[in-house]
Chains A and B, each alone.
Chain A
Amino acid sequence: MLTRRDTIAIGLGASAVALLPVGAYATTTEEAIAAYTGGAEMAEGGVTITAPEIAENGNTVPISVEAPGATEIVLIATGNPTPNVGRFTFGPGSGAPMIATRIRLGRTQDVMAIAKMADGSFASTAVEVKVTIGGCGG
């Protein structure tokens, strides 16, 4: 079954760069993507991001990514001044191409995951995470 988030992810995966939201650090994000893929085409689908739709605090946002068949996953926060978040390389002892971690998001933005497949091709997806700017905290 497709959820709303999956639908967004598939839609964005098709042309992730073209659909960068207004206000994203487009140049640095594009640079980060190009630096990683060398400008190669990125397939849609095959990568799943699980993240909160609304993060209560951008300082600690739980996120997980899985990409069956991937040898490496790169996480990019398109709205952060420095978009690179991390590069996760799966070795021969890996049990599954998945990772869960906690990340910093400066504001509401798309978080993108690019997976490098065993054959050297790339696939990507992105989801929007709304970040609460308030800070009194409840």
Chain B
Amino acid sequence: MQHLKPARTLALASACVAALWTGAAFADPDLSAELVIDGELHITTRAPSDDITPNLPERYSGWLFRSAETRDLQADDFENPAMLAVEDGADLWETADGSNGQSCMDCHGDAAESMAGVRARMPHVNDAGVLWSMEDYVNNCRTERMGAEAWRWSGDEMTSMTSFISMQSRGMPVAVQIDGPAEPYWEQGRDMYYTRYGQLELSCASCHEESWGLNIRADHLSQGQISGFPTYRLKNAGIVSMHNRFRGCIRDTRAETFAEGSDEFRALELYVASRGMGLAIEGVSVRP
């Protein structure tokens, strides 16, 4: 992390605050919008706040903050470009790989049954007491059971697989465990959420708790919910994982960022997920 002399830092910080407040005129979430996939499946995009988020009046999916055109892309499974990744993931599920000649399906069977609800509980403390993200569980299966090589965290295979697995929980409410063995991880994530990073000295809370609904330059700030991930970002024209998003956010504060798959991002993922409890897992979302 880089540091500037105090006077310069203050100037930057106040410039940023000014930027945060401009463009507030048309920046509220569209609470009249309802996410209904293909005219059939209703997705919960608003959930009551609780003790975890005393500073949020209500929890809002990032979907509510997007333009009508972007929202429409997610409301139709054909028009949603993320479904290309879901189909790739479905193929990978059935494809044997590694020295043991096994596929995911050989152990887990029909993903619609075995993976239902899995995404809603991620990240989750494993049997050894270590907090794992879904990517860790996937790679553990690959290296320990299949005799295959681990996938890169944001490689096409991994994002396709996490997209496919997430779809099996679409519509289910976020329900991560934050007590017991998860508690120290959750507290670590909470501390990170309120830590100011980078030359701009912005914490997650600066944008997503104190300033959601406002614009930062031309970008419309959401509550930073991750119930929609993995997401197809129009900017990337591809699938973006949660940790990739975290990395981008911290980089945008002009800080040295943590790595995808780092312990820090796992802890942050758990805490941020808990701030969205009650919101529905969106399977694969579309964001700008």
Q: Which of B176-235 contact A (CB under 8 A)?
A: 216-222, 233-235
- B249-288 vs A, CB cutoff 8 Å, 1 = contact: the mask equals 1001000000000000000000000000000000000011
Our pick among B216, B220, B237, B287 for the contact of A59 (Cβ within 8 Å) is: B237
A138 interface residue, CB < 8 Å from B?
yes
Q: Which residues of A contact B70 (CB under 8 A)?
A: 56
Tell me whether A57 is interfacial, beta carbon within 8 Å: yes
Q: Which residues of A contact B219 (CB under 8 A)?
A: 132, 134-138
Is B69 touching A132 in the complex (CB atoms < 8 A)?
A: no
Looking at A52, A54, A59, A138, which has the most chain B CB atoms within 10 Å of its CB?
Answer: A138
Q: Of B68, B72, B73, B287, which contacts A138 at CB under 8 A? A: B287
Give A107 to B81 CA distance when docked, in angstroms. Answer: 23
A135 to B216, CA, bound (A): 10
**B245 nearest CB neighbor, chain A only:** A137
* Residue in A52, A54, A55, A137 whose beta carbon sits within 8 Å of that of B233 in the complex: A137
User: Does B67 sit within 8 A of A, measured CB to CB?
Assistant: yes
What residues on B are CB-neighbors of A60 within 8 Å? 81, 234, 237
- B236 surroundings in chain A (CB, below 8 A): 59
Which residues of chain B from 98 to 119 have a CB within 8 Å of any chain A CB?
Answer: none
Specify the chain A residue showing the minimal Cβ separation from B233: A137
The 7 A-B residue pairs whose C-beta atoms are closest, nearest first, are A56-B288, A60-B234, A134-B218, A134-B219, A57-B234, A57-B288, A132-B218
User: Mind listing 21 A-B residue pairs with CB under 8 Å?
Assistant: A52-B67, A54-B67, A56-B66, A56-B220, A57-B235, A62-B73, A132-B219, A134-B218, A135-B219, A135-B235, A136-B217, A136-B248, A136-B249, A137-B219, A137-B233, A137-B248, A138-B66, A138-B219, A138-B220, A138-B222, A138-B288
